[in-house]
Chains A and B, each alone.
Chain A
Amino acid sequence: MSVSRRAFLGTAGLSALGLTSKTALDAFALQPPHEPAPAPAGTRWAMVIDSKKCLEAGDCTKCLDACHRTHNVPAIANRAHEVKWIWKEPFEHAFPSLQTDYPPDALRDKPVMVLCNHCDNPPCVRVCPTQATWKRSDGIVMMDWHRCIGCRYCVAGCPYGSRSFNWSDPRPSIAQITPDFPTRSKGVVEKCTFCEERLAKGEPPACVAACQAKALVFGNLNDPESDVRSLLRSHFTIRRKPELGTRPAIYYIV
């Protein structure tokens, strides 16, 4: 029995592939599934947004104005370049998984206040290659603008559109700069930080402090006596896109 040179090389090649592919397949199979971190144990900041109260206030933009003024958020007309920390989104867009063909008039096309959800399982944090964004022990999804390299993975990763990229220097688009807070620079991603600089001083977030309708309620989710917990006890609340498993910390009364 003779084996041609060609057949021998073919068999040897296939055998080598068979031997090595087992190792490669094992390596892929051993990749542990992503386990979301447990919810924070101590303080867990969260917000309840009462959309009914918010809608009763009509065209009120007090929370938006307060947030944008406090944090030097630029007002950019070009929608492709706009920077958003807290904004109004039509109900159908904010809650696409709750779509019905016949939404009640009270909600149809009505604006809902949306902001960063400060998820328990934040996809933006998973994809950030520089740890410029991370989950704090009090639940806040924090950003270090010094460390952001502008790769925009987090913008792609966030299912809520809560992250904005600075395509140009934002300073010319800021009407009145607040010197106490930095602006951002070109090439940096930014988003709501739950006003961590105000929380450090014991003050509520700027949007919550500015809302006179008391539609935005802020508090510690782990404290059964907190305002947010008592609202969650007494009302049926929903969260945005719960099916994604991000476990947002912004609850809505609709």
Chain B
Amino acid sequence: MRDRHVIIAALVVFVGLLTFPIWYARAAGTTARGPEPKLPATEKTCVMPVEYMRASHMALLLTWRDDVVRRQDRAYVSPDGKAYTKSLTGTCLRCHANKAEFCDRCHTYAGVTPYCWDCHVAPASLKGSGT
């Protein structure tokens, strides 16, 4: 057992390497918890049920886009009978006014970069950034 020190040292290094992802995540401050987008305080209902919006808001936005730009169809009636205007900045952002706390939280978590904001203007993002 003259190699005991070497073996123990090697075991420590091995366990350290094995658990490296845990230490790394701890150091970087990332957690396994999902994103927590901040919902608007004023409104309780969206244009579609929350489950649909969570999974398929992008499909809805693309449909709205084509309806408005290509079909001149700007009126929308939600399943619960409320009338809306199909507009990203006019309708969605009216309630979800803070892009950083709503859109960006999930998009950053999911690692997606939608190009909506290359052209469409988020009111909150106007302040200070100059864009």
Name A's B-contacting residues (CB within 8 A).
72, 134, 136, 142, 144-146, 171-172, 177-185, 196, 200
Q: Do A145 and B119 touch across chains, with their CB atoms under 8 A apart?
A: yes
Nearest to A140 among chain B residues (CB) is B72
In the assembled complex, which residues on chain B have CB atoms less than 8 Å from the CB atom of A144? 69-70
Name B's A-contacting residues (CB within 8 A).
65, 69-70, 72, 74, 89-90, 115, 118-123, 126, 130-131
In the assembled complex, which residues on chain B have CB atoms less than 8 Å from the CB atom of A136? 72
Decide yes or no: A146 and B65 within 8 Å by CB, A183-B121, A185-B115, A185-B119 being known contacts: yes
Q: Do B119 and A177 touch across chains, with their CB atoms under 8 A apart?
A: no
In the assembled complex, which residues on chain A have CB atoms less than 8 Å from the CB atom of B122? 179
Q: Do B123 and A200 touch across chains, with their CB atoms under 8 A apart?
A: no
Known pairs A144-B69, A179-B123, A182-B121 / 6 extra A-B pairs, C-beta < 8 Å: A146-B65, A146-B69, A177-B131, A179-B126, A183-B121, A185-B115
4 residue pairs, one from A and one from B, having the closest CB atoms: A182-B119, A185-B118, A179-B121, A182-B120
Q: Give the Cβ gap from B103 to chain A, nearest Cβ, in Å.
A: 15
Q: Do B120 and A142 touch across chains, with their CB atoms under 8 A apart?
A: no
Q: Do A180 and B119 touch across chains, with their CB atoms under 8 A apart?
A: no
Q: Give the Cβ gap from A64 to chain B, nearest Cβ, in Å.
A: 21
Once the chains are docked, how many angstroms separate the CA of A171 from the CA of B72?
A: 27
Once the chains are docked, how many angstroms separate the CA of A135 from the CA of B69?
A: 12
Once the chains are docked, how many angstroms separate the CA of A146 from the CA of B66?
A: 9
In the assembled complex, which residues on chain A have CB atoms less than 8 Å from the CB atom of B89? 179-180, 182
Q: Do B69 and A184 touch across chains, with their CB atoms under 8 A apart?
A: no
In the assembled complex, which residues on chain B have CB atoms less than 8 Å from the CB atom of A177? 121, 126, 131
In the assembled complex, which residues on chain B have CB atoms less than 8 Å from the CB atom of A72? 121
Q: Give the Cβ gap from A146 to chain B, nearest Cβ, in Å.
A: 6
Once the chains are docked, how many angstroms separate the CA of A185 from the CA of B118?
A: 6
Q: Do A200 and B65 touch across chains, with their CB atoms under 8 A apart?
A: no
Q: Give the Cβ gap from B24 to chain A, nearest Cβ, in Å.
A: 36
Q: Give the Cβ gap from A118 to chain B, nearest Cβ, in Å.
A: 15
In the assembled complex, which residues on chain B have CB atoms less than 8 Å from the CB atom of A171? 131
Q: Would you list 9 pairs from A and B whose C-beta atoms are within 8 A, ordered by A residue?
A: A134-B70, A142-B69, A178-B121, A179-B121, A179-B126, A180-B89, A180-B90, A182-B119, A183-B119
Once the chains are docked, how many angstroms separate the CA of A182 from the CA of B115?
A: 12
In the assembled complex, which residues on chain A have CB atoms less than 8 Å from the CB atom of B123? 179
In the assembled complex, which residues on chain B have CB atoms less than 8 Å from the CB atom of A184? 119
Q: Give the Cβ gap from B129 to chain A, nearest Cβ, in Å.
A: 10
In the assembled complex, which residues on chain B have CB atoms less than 8 Å from the CB atom of A182? 89, 119-121
Once the chains are docked, how many angstroms separate the CA of A179 from the CA of B99?
A: 14
Q: Give the Cβ gap from B63 to chain A, nearest Cβ, in Å.
A: 13
Once the chains are docked, how many angstroms separate the CA of A134 from the CA of B70?
A: 9
Q: Do A200 and B74 touch across chains, with their CB atoms under 8 A apart?
A: yes
Q: Give the Cβ gap from A122 to chain B, nearest Cβ, in Å.
A: 16
Of listed B69, B120, B126, residue having the most chain A CB within 10 A: B69
Q: Give the Cβ gap from A232 to chain B, nearest Cβ, in Å.
A: 26
Nearest to A134 among chain B residues (CB) is B70
In the assembled complex, which residues on chain B have CB atoms less than 8 Å from the CB atom of A183? 119, 121
Q: Give the Cβ gap from B111 to chain A, nearest Cβ, in Å.
A: 21
Nearest to A144 among chain B residues (CB) is B69
In the assembled complex, which residues on chain A have CB atoms less than 8 Å from the CB atom of B119? 145, 182-185
Once the chains are docked, how many angstroms separate the CA of A136 from the CA of B71?
A: 9
